[in-house]
Amino acid sequence: MASLHTTTTASFPSIQTPRSLLTHPKPILNLSLSTTTFPSLSLKLTRPRRSAGALGARMVSTAAASYALALADVAKSNNTLDATTTDIEKIDEIFSDPQVFKFFANPTVDAERKKNLVDEIATSSSFQSHTRNFLNILVDAKRIGLVKEIAKEYEFVYNTLTDTEMAVVSSVVKLESQHLAQIAKQVQKLTGAKNVRIKTVIDPSLVAGFTVRYGNSGSKLIDMSVKKQLEEIAAQLDLGDIKLNE
């Protein structure tokens, strides 16, 4: 029987803007990149549920896709795909902070200051060593501005390698783990995926209930929200758009 994994990944409430953006930087650290190399982009995907053609169409010749493949190659060889995915999710959340992203994208900030901040982030977030080194490689290559795009591409590679369906569950309040497990099981039935991973999002506009997005770029939707029911009632009564308090 296919295994099922439910993981809530969207919330990182403890992450705060690193102190290095608010104070004078620490003395320069000598960060060695020799422990991890990214020698090739020839990652072989074995028996993916999605066709190789679909992967090829997605993985066009972009820098973000190439870096994502290289990182997945290292993670796969180290048997740390899951742990690296957790790192990437945290990185995506951290770089969603405009202050953090602006700092790293600023070409006038020297590389050593950026590496100091990488070290602080990696230490506080308990990153894998190759994840820390990967961020430093992006700094040296002046590609750190692509980090959020790389995170999206890495997620696609991970899902393909592990036959995983990603589902985004939006609700007004945090759902209990058993409810998320039931949702994941239903998504598994609909998609035939070996694994299902859940990301949770809080959306007060739904009033009550929840929605589930899955499939390529969230193209499929299960809408169990009160907002939808109210809109359907309004349409049936020809009341026009109901403006809900958000």
pLDDT at position 202: 94
| Residue ranges covered by each domain of the chain | 31-160, 163-236
Closest CA to 72 of 59, 61, 85, 60: 85
* 165 pLDDT more than 70: yes
Q: What is the pTM of this model?
A: 0.65
Which pLDDT band, with edges at 50, 70 and 90, does 231 fall under? Answer: confident
* 15 pLDDT more than 70: no
Q: What is the pLDDT of residues 27-62, one digit of tens each?
A: 322 223 333 444 333 344 433 445 445 554 444 348
31-160 CATH choice from 3.30.230.10, 1.20.1070.10, 2.60.40.10, 1.10.520.20: 1.10.520.20
Instruction: Tell me the C-alpha to C-alpha distance, in Å, between residue 91 and each of 57, 87, 150.
Output: 26, 6, 10
CA distance linking residue 167 with residue 183, whole number of Å: 9
Say which residue, 79 or 61, is predicted with more confidence. 79
The single-letter code of the amino acid at 175 is: L
Residues 117 and 103: beta-carbon distance below 8 Å? yes
Residues 198 and 214: beta-carbon distance below 8 Å? no
* 26 pLDDT more than 80: no
Q: What is the pLDDT of residues 93-129, one digit of tens each?
A: 999 999 999 999 999 999 999 999 999 999 999 999 9
Burial of 138 (0-12, 13-18, 19+ CB in 10 A): buried
pLDDT at position 239: 54
